[in-house]
Amino acid sequence: MEKNILWQPLGKVCAFTGYRPAKMPFASESDPACVALKMRLKDEIYDAVAEGYTDFLCGMALGSDTWAAELVLEVQKTLSGIKEVHLHAYLPFARQDERWSAKSRRRYHKILSQCDSVTVLCEEYKPSCMETRNRAMVQRADRLIAVFDGKKGGTANTIRMAHEKGLELRILSPVPAQLVNPSADDVAQEPSAEIKLFD
């Protein structure tokens, strides 16, 4: 793991965005709906690798980001020696995990220790640092995989940024039965964007 290094992708770049645990429609990771969501996320990662994606960007928040990062590492291990798979952490500010539980902090640092690079966008917390992180990832990416079901907030804003840049969007509802229909309020409707909804 190296911090704030310049890296060049070997192929295409995929970024992740999604909800923290409080916005999820299930109470714990052991919930069958969460297990199913992780399986769908893993399928998306495998699909991306098959389509030439080599580098995956993660904002390292609790919830969706953590799961996506761990799944990229699983895929990386499975495909070692077969396909190039790299994980890059984009941290909104240094010591992002300072107020997390001890268990969450251990998990966070375990992931960071396995990343190919770590980029810290702000040394200290400021109100704009999350958006700065999200924008930086969107600028590097060719595809955005989002865990999203229409709630307003940072995930919706990141999808809007990705839409404006013309990225391919792969949107997964937290619960399969819920299909995502981004409204004009959440995503500016332009013909250049490709929004794919999955259950």
Predicted model pTM: 0.87
For the chain, list residues with pLDDT below 70: 1-3, 177-199
Residues 3-25 have pLDDT tens digits of 677 788 889 999 999 999 999 99
Taken in order of first residue, the domains within the chain and their CATH numbers are 2-198 (3.40.50.450)
Q: Report how far residue 91's alpha carbon sits from residue 31's, in angstroms, rounded to the nearest whole number.
A: 28
What's the Cα-to-Cα distance from 116 to each of 22, 87, 93, 111, rounded to whole Å?
A: 29, 6, 18, 10
pLDDT at position 188, please?
41
Whole-number average pLDDT of the chain: 88
Residues 94-129 have pLDDT tens digits of 999 999 999 999 999 999 999 999 999 999 999 999
Write the secondary structure of 127-195 as one string of H (helix), E (strand) and C (coil): CCHHHHHHHHHHHHCCEEEEECCCCCCHHHHHHHHHHHHCCEEEEECCCCCCCCCCCCCCCCCCCCCEE
pLDDT at position 163, please?
95
Helix or strand run (H / E) with residue 13: strand 12-18
List the one residue out of 40, 50, 45, 59 whose CA is nearest residue 14.
Answer: 45
Q: Report how far residue 150's alpha carbon sits from residue 135's, in angstroms, rounded to the nearest whole number.
A: 19
* 186 Cβ neighbours under 8 A, 6+ residues apart: 150, 152, 156, 159, 160
pLDDT at position 3, please?
67
- Taking residue 180's Cβ as centre, other Cβ atoms within 10 Å add up to 21
Radius of gyration of the chain (CA): 16
pLDDT at position 177, please?
55
